[in-house]
Amino acid sequence: MTTPADNNILSPDAQVSITGRNVEVPEHFAERVKSKLAKIERLDPTLTFFHVELQHEPNPRREAHADRIQITATGKGHIARAEAKEDSFYAALETALGKMERSLRKVKERRSISRSGHRAPLGAGEVAAEMVAEANKAQDQVGEFDVDPYENLVKDVTPGQIVRTKEHAAVPMTVDDALSEMELVGHDFYLFINEENGRPSVVYRRHAFDYGLISLTEEKK
């Protein structure tokens, strides 16, 4: 019989790695992290490895968001990631866990809707002009995270230059799988190879539960 205390215990198969960049991780905080991750594991039992990274950013201008936590959970063929910056690691932990929990619940709901047939995943591209309009609107709304995360890590950089590149395996997948991957990593877009037509494609977040799809085609001469 499961007791309330059991809900705060990770399964024997779960592995947790906690590291600190320029900070030490107290034992009591590590135990708190593990007990909180038990809820994430219950939401998705396939997630069996958790890596939690703590980093303090000594920037007086960002004192309210100086403590950063990133949680990366990996399982059978998929990954979930969330991060947060707050004025304490305890607050950042709660915020990051909340983000990851919402992402997992959203993916579960999407898959449920897809299986029931009440709402099919989007399968058509959105008009490019609409994306430009939304991007322009977003530029006028500056939020707490609308800052350069690499400001203190890159020196002598000319504004507007590429300061980071990233590559990932181009494994063909369905649009629905790409949407799920986007939700799990907490991004607003996801680049993938469309399994249906072999084209490079991008799914992106629009409003509420709505998404868009953009695909590349060869120009006909």
Which CATH number belongs to the domain containing residue 145 in this structure?
3.30.505.50
Query: Residues 189, 107: one domain?
Result: no
Q: Which of 74, 91, 116 is the last residue of a domain?
A: 116
Residue 220, in any domain of the structure? no
Indicate the burial class of 92 (C-beta count within 10 angstroms; 0-12, 13-18, 19 or more).
Answer: buried
Select from 72, 62, 63, 56 the least CA-distant residue to 21. 56
Is the pTM of the predicted complex or chain greater than 0.85?
A: no
Residue 104, in any domain of the structure? yes
pLDDT of residue 50: 94
Instruction: Residue 43: give the domain boundaries.
Output: 4-116
Query: Residues 132, 205: one domain?
Result: yes
Residue 187, in any domain of the structure? yes
User: Comparing 214 with 152, which gets the higher pLDDT?
Assistant: 214
Half-sphere exposure (CA, 13 Å, Cβ side) for 130? 11
Query: Residues 165, 112: one domain?
Result: no
Query: Residues 81, 132: one domain?
Result: no
Select from 125, 128, 105 the least CA-distant residue to 175. 125
Mean pLDDT check: name the lowest of 4-8, 109-113, 169-173: 4-8
pLDDT of residue 135: 47
